[in-house]
Amino acid sequence: MSLTPLTYEILLTLADEHRHGYGIIKEIEARSGSSSAPSTGALYLALQRMEADGMVAEAPRPKGDDDGRRRYYRITARGRADAEEESVRLAELVAVARAKRLLPEARV
Amino acid sequence: VTRSLLRFLLWLAPAHFRTRFGAEVLSVHDARRESGAGRRGRLAFDVREVAGLALTVARLRLGGSGTERERTMTTGGGNMLESTLQDLRFAGRTLRRNPGFTLAAVSVLGLGIGANTAIFSATNAFLFRPLPFGDAGRLVMLYETNPEFGWTDATAAPANVLDWREQVDAFADVAMYSTFVNRIPYVRDGEPELVGAINVTGNFFSVLGVKPEVGRGFDWDETWTGNDAVVVLSHAFWVSHHGASPDAVGKTLTFGNTTVEIVGVMPEGFDFPNPEADLWSPWGWDPANRQAAFFRRAHWVSPIARLKPGVTPERANTELQVVVDRLQKDFPETNRVMGAGLTPLRDFLVKDVRRPLGVLLGAVALLLLLACTNVANLMLVRASDRTREVALRFAMGARGRRILRQMLTEGLLLALLGGAVGLALGWVGVRAIARMQPIGITGATTLALDGRVVLFTVGVAVASGLLFGLAPALRATRGDLQGALKEGGRGGSAGRGTMRTVGMLVSVEVGLAVLLVVGAVLMVRTFWMLRSVDPGFRTEGVVAVQFGIPSARYEKRDQVLAFQDEFERRMEARPGITRVGLVNQLPLAGTSWSSQFQAEGWPPERVGFEILHRRTDAGYFEALDIPLVRGRMFGPDDGADTPPVVLINETFAREHFPGEDPIGQKIAYDRTAAANPEGSIWYEIIGIVGDQMQTSPAEPARAEAFENRDQDWGRGEWFVIRTAGSVASTVAVTRGVLHEMDPLIPLAAVRPIREVWRESMAQQAFILTLLGAFGAMALLLAAVGVYGVTAQAARKRTQEIGIRMALGAGASDVVGLMLRQGLAVVGLGLAAGLAVALLATRAIATFLYGVEPTDPATLVSVVALLAGVAAVASYVPARRATSVDPVTSLRAE
């Protein structure tokens, strides 16, 4: 079992902070560039399913944000475990890649 | 638009998703859109947003309660390909099994896509084709402006341009060229021909950033006299006259008394500024001209500048204005209110075609939308016919997503077939457009279906496939198994929901048709109005021919005039030819030169602005049936040694001599004449002639003065020949006469006056033809749509009709019932179309003449026409429904 790239990105984004939907997108854009940000529709499809799977849950709105349309999300223990599992899997893959000289720094 | 599409998609989404996330999706979308990048990025973003939400909705609808853990990883990619191929095969089979449906859908789409392909090729050729210049983004066109003369982008005076070149720091360099082709007589192996020459300054090629293929370009020094005996050949001329031999460079060409050296050959495809250019040659100006008044007073060169790297057109313009102000102060006599402006080259080149192409692109987009709506309707009706098939596949365990894909594949296959037909039709359309040769629309560029056009067509086909395929596919795969089986059980006709959608789509079709037909009718009326305008001269039975009298053999004025007189005399002696006259510029073919003027006795501050000039003889007016309203015509006593005389048109008399008699008054063509009468040439007004349209029947005649060609002469005049014979026989006679007189003078041009008249309306005719064709297609498509919806409704209600008729309802009652239903849908579309048309027709206002964009008669007649067509289209199937025997219809399933 592996996570889709978008699911993984969302979990990474929520790992250290509660965010609303637009905040998640801005974080992904900042990290991976605006062209790799998901469409709004795709984001909410993922959020809906992640919520159903118990990876994320709704978080209380922080003080200072009184925009009633915004809903905040947080990562759950289950989500954190999934993200860790996926990170380990990816790290192992990267280790293999490095061993096979597929990482630029390994070429030196 | 994007937002309403998103709303629509959310509306399609399952309720739990919509209520939980709907508002959030929209607000996040808004926030992203506001923070988004430039306009270009925004379109791509919108497309992604819509596509993304559509996919989300499709997954939510079909994927059940899916989780976000990936499954496709385990099934692998090979499977995907295989299932796609399977989908394609299945779609192909389905389409083959329903040849009627397939044929209808493919031809409707082909029409829509073909129209788009044709118009896009034209747009592609004009607006998007890269300019054949180095770093063309830094090129700007310069022009002069003058509020008193009403100039907005006039050709410039060379002395002014030379000053700009030296004083505007933002310009890396400024070149000049003549827009018109100078046709020089040339003798090749004893045969006369005309060679098209463009006069340029020596830096012309370097400013454009184009290098000769062979040899060199010019130097700046070669602009001036003494260094100017050099030419650069066009690629085509090099091939035809020198067999593409590199040895051509260094050879000489002889034109009459002038011999020039070939220094270079331009690469293939370079034909700026005129495709008739055979060669470019320097003007050979006298450096002393810079101090001469005419060099600042006469405006005849086209300047083009290359900006220094990093300089914006705005900054260059600011600097230019500083120089312009200085010149206004330094040369008040010529430059008092003379302004200047600049426009990036590409914008300048397309300014005349941008609007018509925009309108036509809009029209074909509407037509395609109409075609898609039509096909969506066909598919919807068919989808409801196939509910049972789909339900069966569901029941047998097929996954919703797979069925959706299957339906979409079918839509796409249809669209691609339509695209192929469209490409073929587009090719035909492009050739037709090229053949029409609309003046001001096709210019230097050639029309072709290139890779970009093909790509565009495929793109349009795929987009329309998704457009008309998605809605029916979603509908058909809504997982309501029981309902589907039940509805199917009732008899395979469309369900209530489907009928509502079909009705809505038909309303949309009718609305779109209203728009297109209104546009077409407005153009038809414009054209009628234009054709009924009296151009002020006879258009039938007159042929104009032109030739140049070379200075090599006819050096003196008297020799030229004698040749022209003798030509007229010999022509008039030929059978069928009743009168021949000459003029330097044909009416309705543009203007030659303009000036200001003062009349004798006027106070020095009174000036008449922008009067047009032409040079004629008496024969011109007689051959073209232009009436002499008052006074007298040029006579044999008016000659080089007698005081200059002039005829004016009625507009001149009305505008500049209101309430007085112009005849006998004297005028001079400058603004210092009244103050200093001895320093000017005075022309006596001897008569008033009827107005002749000068540029277009849509524009009223302007004040115009006709100088006497016996006093003011030229070598390249047009001869207008009034003849009872055909154009071909007249040309043959002309050639014969010319050959008798001098076998080395070639006929330069032939233009029947009727053609001149028609070409002056070419732009309107072009738009009319295309909008008319689109309007007719729209009408047809809308009629098919209305027919379809009524036929479908009739089919659905066969039992009901049977019962009604069995209970004694007459055929006319039932027909009335059905008609009402059809026409309600049509009425909605008519109303919506009319409302939009009231706003949208403004887009074509500039092409209209004699009719308002919101002309009530047009709108009413279009509504009546569409209502009539719709009535017939729904009467036929309604009538057919009642002709069925009640017993049969009751039994029907």
pLDDT at B456 over 60: yes
For residues B535 and B525, what is the distance between their CA atoms, to the nearest angstrom? 18
Q: Which residues of B touch A1 (CB under 8 A)?
A: 69
* Structure letter (DSSP) for residue B125: I
Q: B367 near B519, Cβ under 8 Å?
A: no
- Mean pLDDT of the region B601-621: 91
Do A40 and B28 lie within an 8 Å CB cutoff?
yes
Give the pLDDT confidence of B201-240 residue by residue, as tens digits. Answer: 999 999 999 999 999 999 999 999 888 899 999 999 999 9
- Give the predicted TM-score (pTM) of the model: 0.67
Judge whether A2 is closer than 8 Å to chain B, CB to CB: yes
Averaged over B654-665, what is the pLDDT?
93
**Which chain A positions have a beta carbon within 8 Å of B31's beta carbon?**
22
Strand partners, B683: B667
Measured in degrees and rounded to the nearest 5, phi and psi for residue B175 equal -110, 165
- For residue B178, is pLDDT > 50? yes
- Reported as a pLDDT band with limits 50, 70 and 90, residue B27 is confident
Q: Chain A contact for B66, CB < 8 A?
A: yes
A35 contacts chain B (CB < 8 A): no
pLDDT at B142 over 90: yes
CA distance B479 to chain A (A): 19
Q: Is B49 on the interface with A (CB under 8 A)?
A: yes
State which H helix or E strand residue B109 sits in. helix B99-123
Residue B37 has pLDDT above 60, yes or no: no
CB contact at 8 A, B94 and B342: no
Q: How many residues does chain A have?
A: 108
Q: How far apart are CA B223 and CA B372, in angstroms?
A: 59
B47 close to A (CB below 8 A): no
Tokens at B749, concatenated: 């041009």
pLDDT score for B648: 96
The proportion of chain B whose per-residue pLDDT surpasses 90, expressed as a percent, equals 33
With beta carbons under 8 A apart, name residues in chain B contacting A69: 23-24, 27
Distance CA B562, CA B741 (A): 11
- Taking only the tens place, the pLDDT of each residue in B330-340 is 998 888 889 99
Contact assessment for residue B615 and residue B709, using Cβ atoms and an 8 Å cutoff: yes
**Between B420 and B68, whose confidence is greater?**
B420
Q: Calculate the average pLDDT of chain B.
A: 84
**B336 Cβ partners below 8 Å, 6+ apart?**
B328
The amino acid at B92: G
CA–CA separation, B380 and B498 (whole Å): 7
Secondary structure E strands in A22-107:
56-59, 72-75
Q: How far is B472 from chain A (nearest CA, A)?
A: 21
- Higher-confidence residue: B353 or B364? B364
What pLDDT is stored for residue B150 in this prediction? 81
B69 and A53: CB-CB below 8 Å? yes
Res. B40 pLDDT band, cuts 50 70 90: low
**Residue predicted with more confidence, B218 or A64:** B218
So what's the ipTM on this one? 0.84
**Element housing B451 (H / E):** helix B451-477
- Look up tokens 């809009």; give the residue: B362
Instruction: Give B 72-91 residues with CB within 8 A of chain A.
Output: 73
Q: Is B180 on the interface with A (CB under 8 A)?
A: no
Which chain B residues contact residue A40 at CB under 8 A? 25, 28-29, 32, 49, 52-53
Interface contact flag, A21 B55, Cβ < 8 Å: no
Q: What is the CA radius of gyration of chain B?
A: 35
Contact yes or no for B70 and A2 at CB 8 A? yes
B685 phi and psi, to 5 degrees? -75, 120
Minimum CA–CA partner of B66 in chain A: A49
- For residue B275, is pLDDT > 60? yes
Partners of A21 on chain B (C-beta within 8 Å) are 24, 28
Contact A40 B66 (CB under 8 A): no
- Show residues of chain B in contact with A71, CB under 8 Å: 24
Is B48–A3 a contact, with Cβ atoms under 8 angstroms apart? no
Q: Return d(Cα B381, Cα B370) in angstroms, integer.
A: 17
pLDDT for B441? 41
**What average pLDDT does this structure show over B176-197?**
84
Q: What does the pLDDT look like over B775-799, one tens digit per residue?
A: 988 988 888 878 877 777 777 777 7
Pick among A4, A14, A40 to test the B interface (most B CBs inside 10 A): A40
Question: How far apart, in whole angstroms, are the C-alpha atoms of residue B404 and residue B412?
Answer: 12
Question: What band does B492 get if pLDDT is binned at 50, 70 and 90?
Answer: very low
Rounded Cα distance between B153 and B146, Å, is 9
Residue A37 has pLDDT above 90, yes or no: no
Cα–Cα distance measured from residue B459 to residue B457, given in angstroms and rounded to the nearest whole number: 5
Task: Enumerate the H helices of B644-752 as residue ranges.
Answer: 650-656, 727-741
- Res. B74 pLDDT band, cuts 50 70 90: very low
- CA-nearest residue to B28 within chain A is A22
Q: Of A3, A44, A71, which is closest to B56 when you measure between CB atoms?
A: A44
Distance CA B505, CA A68 (A): 37
Gap between the Cα atoms of B620 and B538, Å rounded: 11
CA neighbor of B725 nearest in space, from B752, B698, B744: B752
Task: Name the token pair of B558.
Answer: 């008297």
- Chain A residues near residue B53 by CB distance under 8 angstroms: 39-41
Interface test with A, best of B28, B53, B62 (most A CBs within 10 A): B28
Q: Which of B509, B465, B517 is nearest to B374 (CA)?
A: B509
Residues in B touching A38 (Cβ below 8 Å) = 52
Helix (H) or strand (E) holding B543: strand B542-546
Could you tell me if B5 lies within 8 Å of chain A, comparing CB atoms?
no
Q: Check residue B669 and report its DSSP letter.
A: S
B54 part of contact set with chain A, CB < 8 Å: yes
* Set of chain B residues whose Cβ sits within 8 Å of the Cβ of A49: 66-68
Residue of A nearest to B7 (CA): A41
DSSP E strand stretches across B308-386:
339-344
Which residues in chain A have their CB less than 8 angstroms from residue B20's CB?
A: 48
Adjacent-strand bridge partners of A59? A72
Nearest CA-CA distance, residue B405 and chain A, Å = 19
**Which pLDDT score is estimated for B503?**
80
Say whether B21 and A39 touch across the interface (CB within 8 A): no
Cβ–Cβ gap B21/A44 under 8 Å: yes
Cβ neighbours of residue B192 under 8 Å, at least 6 residues apart?
Answer: B185, B186, B743, B744, B745, B746
B538 SS3 class:
coil
CB contact under 8 Å between B31 and A22, yes or no, is yes
- CA pair distance B721, B740, nearest whole angstrom: 18
Q: Hey, is the C-beta of A54 within 8 angstroms of any chain B C-beta?
A: no
Q: Tokens at residue B471, please?
A: 């809605």
Q: How far apart are CA B583 and CA B93, in angstroms?
A: 70
